[in-house]
Amino acid sequence: MTTEQSAAGSSRPDGARSAPTDPGPGTPGDSAGRKDSDPAGTTGGTHTTADAPAAARDRAGTGEGKPTGDAADTADPATKADPAEKASTPGAAPGTAARNGKADAKAGATEEAGTANVKAGTAETGKAATEVGTADKAGTADAKAGAADKTGKAGTGTDGAGKGDEKDEKAAAGKGADGGDKEGTPDRWKAFASAPEPVPSRLGRAARAAGRAVGRLLIHEWTLATLASLALAVLLTWPTLRYPLHTLPQDYWDPSLQAWQMAWSGHILLTNPAQLWQSNAFFPENWSFAFSDTLLGYAPAGMIGTGPEAAVLRYNIMFVLAHALAMFGAYALARQLGAGRIGSAVAGASFAYAPWLLAQAGHLHVISNGGIPLALAMLARGHGWSLRHGYRPERRHDGWVYTGWLVAAWQLSLGFGIGLPFAYFLGGAVLVAAVTWFLRRWVIRPVKRPFGRRLLIADLVGGLLFAGVGVLLAIPFFTVSEAHPNAKRSIGDIAAFSPPASGFFTAPAESRIWGELHEGARASLPWHPEMTLLPGFVLYALAAGGLFFSVWKLRHRLLLLAGVVVTMVLAMGTRFFDGTFTYVPLFEHVPGWNGLRTPGRLMLWTTLLLGLLAAGAVSAFAARVREISAERIPSWPSPWLRLATLLPLVLVIGEGLNSTPHPIVPPQPAAMRTVNGPMLVLPSNQSLDQPVMLWSTSRFQDVVNGGSGFTPLQLDDVRRVTLSFPDQVSVDYLRVLGVRNVLLMRDQIAGTPWEVTIDAPVDGLGITREEIGNVVVYRL
């Protein structure tokens, strides 16, 4: 055991002092007696009790004892070596110089060692302990061991001085070179140490934090759900984006009208917002923008680009995005209600790509339904409510409530055909919430603020905002209804579009899986585009399974089933016992309901409820797979089990595959870019006028042509009178109407009266005739 080890192993931390006459194990004689057996300067014999105070001093100098200056003050005077004694010891001064590692070998090293020992007993503990520790370290033969033990033991220093052999001198010199403590000599082992990490700058730290935040964002569930929804929308609507400037899905009639609607709203809001409802079509009618659902919520997109090609591109992009939003919204709603990821994906895919929606590919206002489940998900999240876990007040957040009401108002602005039932559903939900609040506040276990003041304010403000948007949008439609009595629907109109029960099991022709197989069933339907209402056989099967095996409680399953039955009955219109107790009361007594021409579109709610039932079943199945996997060793699901959880999603997506046609949009005639309005384009009818509206998006000049859910009486008169154009009667009529130019298209006149009169002379009519491309322009 070395002297240092013995001192360190002393059990007297209190700094007890021994007699000053006890020389201790560090005397010259002791050192000399062990020189041969202990050439490294270590001691192998038994030590005296003087080691204990020496250990106390060691701890005081090296920090192993008490961390305060008191340790130095209580150092044992017995360990303070006498300068005279040290001076009489042969080789003491050279040994001290070697131990100190000093290159200059000062002559007064012995006195300095004694002075250092005296300083060890002073209150200035730090410096004295360091100097004595240096002397102690130099006294060991092992340079590294001496560097580790900075005990400052005077006896050890004396003992080292007695060993003045060459080996000890070299060890001491090596200590000085390695440590470099006194002379600042560089450490030659430093090159082998690991390089210190560079301290990043403030900009670097900010960049690193931003990178971590972006990384977390990219792998977040909602980011992945958004990307998956977009990718699936592009694939399942293909080839919509193959030629997005020149083709439209389904046909080019209603899509042309809706492309014009988006273009007009964006254009007029940038140029003259006060004239929003006075569109350039149906000249000279007023409130003409309210002749059909407006897609006003897409006005920001309409502000980008001009002309027919930009309008077609815009329509195709919004068509794809509408599918993505529908899937994402239904996914978010299912997740908020408590379904798992795979189950929620099934609900989202079945809602966005149900086979019956393929027949609605030409109606963007029907496809644009994703705001319904998304708003419901946000409102449920803001209220801290889920179907699976009930009401949890600690999870409520008024910010989500505001956002949910905003999304609901935006959905309403896309059209009343889908938005009106949604508005009444929200009204019913608010009524139920108000009754619940009253019961919890005053009747059943009264709570001072059941929903919280901030949440109540958010609902009031959001509800008023939603209602205000609804009223402002409804005013033009009520005005049109009063000015055009023929725009009002009748029970006979509803009966013509009411589907029979067989329609719920019949797919449209656009379904790639079932289209050809159901051709015979479609032939038996009076108007199959609005009567083929199959939501998917896979969805039916999953929803049926969800009645018996689900994560939802039994009462919730029964409520979802009741909702499915009610919405199916309403979707049948007058086909369910003539609608006497179902659809007809709504048609006659609920404001705005008589404007809904096609009850089959209520199948949207049936599909959503079926998707939630299916999500419950798939979520329960996925949870069971996890339980089985946990019992395996190792606990990891087999590939077949993984495939089984994805199979329902794959099957639902498979039923949504389409064979939708994408016809080329008729190109814009050059005359539409140069001729001013007001103008009339002939021939004119519902189908031909919708492309004319699209062509007018280059300049938005006034045109008499127009297509909508109904035909104004004045437009009927124009079409009837101009069958003989050009003649004096039709010319005078158009002049009174305010028309200044008439465009007659040669490629559309086959089989019409204009096939004969297009080249007739116009002398005596006071008009001029000019040909621009394949269009004959008559200037009145």
Structural tokens at position 224 = 């992945």
| pLDDT of 346 above 60 | yes
Name residues whose C-beta falls within 8 Å of residue 53's C-beta, 6 or more positions apart in sequence.
10, 12, 15, 16, 17, 18, 75, 76, 78, 79
Q: What is the mean pLDDT of the chain?
A: 79
In the predicted model, what is the mean pLDDT of residues 478-499? 90
Is the predicted pLDDT of residue 62 greater than 70, yes or no?
Answer: no
Q: How far apart are CA 311 and CA 700, in angstroms?
A: 12
Are 356 and 535 a contacting pair, CB within 8 Å?
Answer: yes
* Confidence band, pLDDT 50/70/90 cuts, at residue 378: very high
Tens-place pLDDT, residues 562-571: 999 999 999 9
- Compute the distance between CA of residue 32 and CA of residue 463 in angstroms, rounded to an integer: 100
pTM, 2 dp: 0.74
Q: Give the pLDDT band of residue 437 (cuts 50, 70, 90).
A: confident
Predicted pLDDT at 450: 66
Q: Residue 317: is its pLDDT beyond 50?
A: yes
CA distance linking residue 525 with residue 49, whole number of Å: 113
Around 311, how many Cα atoms within 13 Å sit in the side-chain half-sphere?
A: 31
Taking residues 486-508, report their average pLDDT. Answer: 91
pLDDT of 13 above 60: no
Helix axes 51-62, 154-161, angle to 10 degrees: 110
Position 205 scores a pLDDT of: 79
Q: What is the pLDDT of residues 260-272, one digit of tens each?
A: 999 999 999 999 9
Task: Look at residue 3 and tell me whether its pLDDT is greater than 60.
Answer: no
pLDDT at 273 over 50: yes
Interval 703-742: pLDDT, tens: 999 999 889 999 999 999 999 999 999 999 999 999 999 9
Largest separation between any pair of C-alpha atoms in the chain: 148
Top mean pLDDT of 134-138, 368-372, 434-438 is at 368-372
pLDDT in tens, 666-686: 999 999 999 998 999 999 998
Mean pLDDT, residues 534-550: 96
Q: Does the pLDDT at position 29 exceed 70?
A: no
Report residue 193's pLDDT band, with 50, 70 and 90 as the boundaries.
Answer: low
Own/partner pairs, 128-133, CB within 8 angstroms, 24+ separation: 128/61, 128/72, 128/152, 129/60, 129/61, 129/62, 129/72, 130/61, 132/57, 132/61, 132/157, 133/61, 133/62
pLDDT tens for residues 571-588? 999 999 999 999 999 999
**118-142 residue pLDDT tens:** 343 433 333 433 343 333 433 333 4
Q: Render pLDDT for 303-316 as a digit per residue (tens, 0 to 9).
A: 999 999 999 999 99
Beta bridge partners of 743: 681, 777
3-class DSSP assignment, residue 268: helix
For 207, other C-beta atoms within 10 Å of its C-beta total 12
- Residue 635, pLDDT score: 63
Confidence of residue 99 (pLDDT cuts 50, 70, 90): very low
Closest CA to 287 of 140, 475, 513: 475
- Cα 78 to chain center, whole Å? 76
Residue 221 CA to residue 229 CA, distance in Å, equals 12
Nearest-angstrom CA–CA distance, 288 and 294: 10
Residues in the chain, overall count: 780
Closest by Cα among 26, 210, 43 to 136: 26
Secondary structure (3-state) at 53: helix
In contact, 12 and 56? CB cutoff 8 Å: yes
pLDDT at 457 > cutoff 80:
yes
Alpha-carbon span 389 to 339, nearest angstrom: 11
Look at the block and give the residue holding tokens 């305010």. 738
Read off the pLDDT of each residue in 93-111 and give the average, rounded to a whole number. Answer: 39
